[in-house]
Chains A and B, each alone.
Chain A
Amino acid sequence: MDQDGRHNRPLDENDVLGCLPGVRALILRMTRDLNATNDFAQEVMIAVIVAVREGRLREREALPAYVRQAARHIVFAAQRKLQPTAMEVLPEQEGAWQGAPRTPLEYCEASEMQRMAREVLDELPTPRDRALIVGFYVEGRSKIQLMGELQLDAAHFDRVIFRARTRMRDRIRDKMCERQNLSDAPVSRMGSGHKGR
């Protein structure tokens, strides 16, 4: 049990919305499509919130597995061209949805990804490191292949990839802060608004 006694109270919508960053990350990894990810993540949240409201999901410990399964189901269903179940009540129109944790993807447009990827690539210190990233992400070559071709050991390979991922994460964070500052300014004067994570 945590300090605020969170585990004692019944499962509610805020608990579900707390899973949103993970849901987005999982769906983005499955689809590699920014727009689809935003749509599917919202559908997942709606489906799980409805399940909580209807009492089909009560156990807090079951929430992560339920959310993960819902995400996978919705993505697979979409890939099979199945239509998701229509909802009469849309939680995203309610106050709870407005309080959902913001995630970087909501602040990042597709065109910006290309620019950020270019910046991350340009920051790598050697042509060999850049070749590694291009080989791994663009050409889809395996770690073993690239280690052989570029004469790299596993530690160097991992370092370069980790550095690139971390720098991309930092860039997305910066973008999020930048957008939040822009959107928070007028809202804060009105005495409400979400501050994000």
Chain B
Amino acid sequence: MSPLDQLLLRSYLDGQMDEAASEAFELRLMQDPQLAEMVEADAVLGIGMRDLAEKPAATVPNMVPLVATAPRHPTHLPYLLAASVMLVVGFGAGREFGAQRLPSPVPAPLVYVDTTRGATHAATLKIPPSGPLILAVPLLENGCLPDVVISSDGTELRSAAAPDASGYASVLLDAAQLRSGNASIGVLCSKREVARYAVDFTR
């Protein structure tokens, strides 16, 4: 397809042609199967995306659920004891009942911190009142297994996050855990803070 055809195709599909130009393009469409393919692909993409939005089939790989932790003076001994007990029980249960079943897939909106809008103000993140939510934040450092910490009004949510190839770290959480208003999201690599983002959660 020539650059001119690409330009015409883009104008046509983006609705930027006037009526006469659209008619002329559609006459070419009748005689050019390659152009027809691209117009079809655009329509199929639109239909498929619309269906995805209506009937989302979100599967969220590599997501780790957030757990609320006490923000100050953590003492690890009770947790270590509890973990030891659970480990023993877990091994026994695992042997008894075989492989662990994964939960069924559920739809979950994706919200991400967009640093391209500039760092002069808190990024506004629109979140649902409750339900599963995927939060993605820029990682800014490759090769680490990050933790994400969300701080708001003296409370703190902390979780291991899943890094992806795009340089984002993602966590899956219940939107009800997040309070509306200003919050701060920190990204830690090996307990060292590598990034912090000011955000404003709105519903």
Residues of chain A at the chain B interface (Cβ within 8 Å): 18-19, 21-26, 28-29, 32, 34, 63-65, 67-68, 101, 103-105, 108, 110, 113-118, 120-121, 125-128, 130-131, 133-134, 137-138, 143, 150-151, 158, 161-162, 164-166, 168-169, 172-173, 197
Contact = CB atoms under 8 A, between A and B. Distances in A.
Interface of B: 6, 10, 13-14, 23, 26-33, 35-53, 55, 57, 110, 112, 114, 116-117, 136, 165-166, 168
B36 A166 contact: no
A143 B16 CA distance: 10
Contact of B33 (A108, A133, A161, A197): A197
Contacts of B112: 127, 131
B116 A150 contact: yes
B34 to A, nearest CB: 9
B49 A134 contact: yes
Nearest to A32: B47
A127 B47 contact: no
B48 A114 contact: yes
**Chain B interface SS verdict (over half):** helix
B116 A168 contact: no
Contacts of A115: 48
Given A26-B39, A134-B53, A127 B44 contact: no
B56 to A, nearest CB: 9
A134 B46 CA distance: 9
27 contacts: A22-B26, A22-B32, A26-B29, A29-B39, A34-B47, A68-B23, A104-B40, A108-B44, A110-B47, A113-B47, A114-B52, A117-B44, A118-B52, A120-B48, A125-B165, A126-B166, A127-B112, A127-B168, A128-B114, A130-B110, A134-B53, A151-B117, A164-B45, A168-B44, A168-B48, A169-B38, A169-B41
